[in-house]
Structure 1
Amino acid sequence: MHLLRHAVAGGLAALVALSGAAALAGAATTGPTVDQSPLLWATINICDTAKHPDTIGIRASMPGSGKKAEKMYMRFQVQYFRASTQTWAPTDATVDSGFQSVGSALFRRRESGWNFSITPPPAGQTYRLRGIVSFEWRIGKKVVRKAQKRTHSGHKGTFGADPKTASAAECIIKP
Structure 2
Amino acid sequence: MTTKTSVPKGRQPKTNNYTAILNQLLKKYNLSAESTPEQLSKHASEFGVSLPDWMARKCVKDALTRRKFSKEQIEALMPDKRKEKLTIEERAKYCVKTGDKWDIFIHARDIGPKSNNDKEIVASCSRLSLFRNKLQEAGIACELIDTYAKDPVVTTASNKIQKEWTDQNLANNRLKN
Higher Rg: 2
Task: Tell whether the structures are fold-level matches, with TM greater than 0.5.
Answer: no
Q: Which has the higher helix share?
A: 2
Report which of the two has the higher share of strand: 1
Structure of greater relative contact order (alpha carbons < 8 Å, 6+ residues apart): 1
TM-score by length of 1: 0.22
